[in-house]
Chains A and B, each alone.
Chain A
Amino acid sequence: MNSPVRPAPLLTEDNHQFWVAAREHRLVAQQCDSCNELRHPPRPMCPHCGSLAHSSATLSGRGTVYSYSLLHHPQHPAFTYPVVAAIIDLDEGLRFVSNVVDCDPHSVTIGMAVTVRFEPTAGDGVVPVFAPAPKTGSQG
């Protein structure tokens, strides 16, 4: 299949942990080594305690759609339209701009439960995206 391929993310010293983890299919956020606060987007210093020391925390990948919009115009060859732009509130309390995939764009709603999955980009990159969460069955 010859579907459009997303552009590669741009890596810097501040953000590379996020994108390196995504290549390993892990959704991570910076976590302060001093006060343990999680933060996203990445930044060099903890705004809560001023520490420069931080690590990557692997996140649950579970969240809900905080907001979304179906993008129709203008169109870029790297994407399939309408693009489902979304803001995801992760269960850990962090927020990510992403896409909702694997569903009819018009079925997306605010409050919809979603889980992370991963899609390739140009240049061997990977981005975390979100799909409707599997319906919880009797197994709990």
Chain B
Amino acid sequence: MRPGLGGSTVIVGAGQTEFSKNAGRTETQLATESITAALADAGLKPGDVDGLVSYTIDPVEETELTRAIGFQQLNWSSRVPYGGGGSQGVLLHAAAAVASGAADVVVAYRACRSRSGNRFGRAQVASSTSTGHAGTTATQWCMPYGVLTPASWMALNGMRYMHTYGVTSRDFGRAVVQLRDYAATNPNAHFFGKPITLDDHQASRWIAEPVLHLFDCCQETDGAVALIVTTAERASEFAQPVTIAAAGQAAIFEEEIATNHYRPDLSRMDGAISMGKRIFDDFGIRRDDIDVAMIYDAFTPVLFMQLEGLGFCAPGEAAAFIADGNLGPSGALPTNTNGGLIGEGYIHGLNLTLEAVRQCRGTAVNQIDGARTALVSASRTGVILQRHEG
């Protein structure tokens, strides 16, 4: 059955701070700046907002944010678990709230100091079996073994994937070269003006041998992104609305998030398979309708595994698909045109959604000609955005 919220909501405002390695101000300030930019983009005022959603692990507190920005009354608020895998869930929550009438104008945001503050990639032994309400406790089964970082958790899946399909680090490197090419022409990207060769990728140091070189890893970034969602009925009030054509989640039995070690076959992402069925098949959208894709590239292997899980290529065929140039601007599936989380920066996946909005508006720095429909996949959550046809 087709979910009721397909096409019934629109993104009407998009904003960000600069992305950096040391913002020098609190996450609360970063959130206020990105939300203020998104409100200005939409032509709205703080008092127009009545709903708020972020990630469970976002450090900004709702009342402090309200006090700083001057929201007058929030009729609805929510948080989404699963870390970056849940990143597109903020759009699912916002769309569901707006479509149901629980709220009229929802701000979805994420504010990080994941380089100058609480570094995502640091080696730290957990002080709690919970991981800050990320939606999992499974890191407790990794910590006594020195398996302490997202790279170390996800390298285990990546290794099994390489083993099953004969994929090599050079295969991963070809994808990274493409991402860095996009980043090189994106002034917002950490790696602006810094393209690499396959040899550069191979020469970068091992993080998790033989799976992840340094250049296979996403950035640790300070910054914030905010998006504003309202009903499609109001779209004509706004300059650049983008339709949320589909939004979904597939959190499946025994599938963990970054510590996903218990599904029977770790050379595939079962959640991505289910999530793809949800946002494509349940919403009646074809894979070949997608003009440009944003695929959560925390580490290169998960980009490959999502391309396969979502159905853009058969199992084991992502390497050949990428080697043929299909992620590039003239390929079959231009992907992560901002440089991705590896090349642009890591606002925990929400900067991918921002890039999808820009592609649908026709305002991206690496604009894909004729882009009308954009996918954003974070494996267990995803959205399909479309240029609004008034």
Contact with B along A58-70 (1 / 0, CB 8 A): 0000000011111
A72–B145 touching, CB < 8 Å: no
- Beyond A75-B123, A95-B261, is A41–B208 a contact (Cβ under 8 Å)? no
Interface residues of B in 176-211 (CB under 8 A from A): 205-211
CA distance A75 to B163 in the complex (A): 26
Answer whether residue A12 sits at the interface, using C-beta atoms and an 8 A cutoff. Answer: yes
- B211 CB contacts on chain A under 8 angstroms: 69
- A8 CB contacts on chain B under 8 angstroms: 144
A-B contact count (CB 8 A): 115
Answer whether residue B122 sits at the interface, using C-beta atoms and an 8 A cutoff. Answer: yes
Shortest B303–chain A CB gap in Å is 18
B145–A69 touching, CB < 8 Å: no
- Which residue, B122, B138, B262, has most C-beta atoms of chain A within 10 A? B262
Interface 9-mer from B1-9, B152-160, B233-241: B152-160
Answer whether residue A20 sits at the interface, using C-beta atoms and an 8 A cutoff. Answer: no
Shortest A108–chain B CB gap in Å is 10
Shortest B220–chain A CB gap in Å is 11
Interface 9-mer from B85-93, B106-114, B125-133, B367-375: B125-133
Shortest A137–chain B CB gap in Å is 29
CA distance A73 to B160 in the complex (A): 20
- Beyond A10-B128, A95-B261, is A67–B143 a contact (Cβ under 8 Å)? no
Shortest A89–chain B CB gap in Å is 10
Which residue in B125, B128, B146, B159 is a CB contact (below 8 Å) of A67?
B159
B144–A69 touching, CB < 8 Å: no
- A76 CB contacts on chain B under 8 angstroms: 123-125, 146, 148
- Beyond A85-B155, A87-B156, is A7–B122 a contact (Cβ under 8 Å)? no
A69–B140 touching, CB < 8 Å: no
Which residue in A69, A97, A121, A129 is a CB contact (below 8 Å) of B208?
A69
Shortest B344–chain A CB gap in Å is 22
User: What is the interface residue range for chain A against chain B?
Assistant: 35 or more
Answer whether residue A15 sits at the interface, using C-beta atoms and an 8 A cutoff. Answer: yes
Closest B residue by C-beta to A110: B163
B266–A67 touching, CB < 8 Å: yes
Answer whether residue A83 sits at the interface, using C-beta atoms and an 8 A cutoff. Answer: yes
Closest A residue by C-beta to B138: A41
A70–B208 touching, CB < 8 Å: yes
- Beyond A47-B253, A67-B163, A97-B156, is A74–B123 a contact (Cβ under 8 Å)? yes
- A72 CB contacts on chain B under 8 angstroms: 205-209
Which residue in B140, B205, B208 is a CB contact (below 8 Å) of A71?
B208
Closest B residue by C-beta to A22: B144
Answer whether residue B147 sits at the interface, using C-beta atoms and an 8 A cutoff. Answer: yes
- Which residue, A8, A73, A78, A95, has most C-beta atoms of chain B within 10 A? A73
Interface residues of B in 76-127 (CB under 8 A from A): 121-126
- A66 CB contacts on chain B under 8 angstroms: 160, 266
- B124 CB contacts on chain A under 8 angstroms: 76
Sample of 18 A–B contacts (CB below 8 Å): A7-B143, A67-B266, A69-B152, A69-B159, A69-B210, A69-B211, A69-B212, A70-B206, A72-B207, A72-B209, A73-B207, A78-B125, A83-B145, A97-B141, A97-B259, A98-B145, A99-B146, A110-B159
Q: Which 3 A-B pairs have the closest CB atoms?
A: A79-B146, A76-B123, A69-B155
With A69-B212, A87-B261, A99-B146 given, name 16 new contacts (CB 8 A).
Answer: A6-B144, A9-B144, A41-B137, A67-B163, A69-B210, A70-B210, A72-B205, A74-B121, A74-B122, A74-B123, A82-B209, A83-B146, A85-B142, A85-B152, A85-B155, A86-B156
